[in-house]
Amino acid sequence: MKKLTLFTLLGWIIFACSSPSHDLLITNVNVIDVVTGEVLPNRTVAIDGDEITAIYTRTIKSGKNT
């Protein structure tokens, strides 16, 4: 049940934002699922302020000029 909830939440986060704008995007990240120990390769991690706000399976281009 926890796994289903986790994947549902991740799916919602991934698809809820049609044009995301984040403070920082880190690409080509290996994310470790702390429940299963599975390594999820080639993810994009979005950070806003001091929080990780999303993890994407696809590359997201920043809308901000840096």
For 10-66, the DSSP string reads HHHHHHH-SS---SEEEEEEEEE-TTT--EEEEEEEEEETTEEEEEESS----SS--
Let me know: does 17 contact 58? Beta carbons within 8 Å: no
Task: Report residue 7's pLDDT band, with 50, 70 and 90 as the boundaries.
Answer: confident
pLDDT of amino acid 12 = 74
- Domain total for the chain? 1
Name the band, by pLDDT with cuts 50, 70 and 90, for residue 6.
confident
In a domain, 65, yes or no: no
Mean pLDDT in residue range 23-52: 93
Query: Is 64 inside a domain boundary?
Result: no
Average of pLDDT values for 15-31? 79
Q: Is residue 63 part of a domain?
A: no
Q: How far apart are CA 44 and CA 29, in angstroms?
A: 6
Domain that holds residue 50: 2-56
**Six-digit token pair at 59?**
């590359």
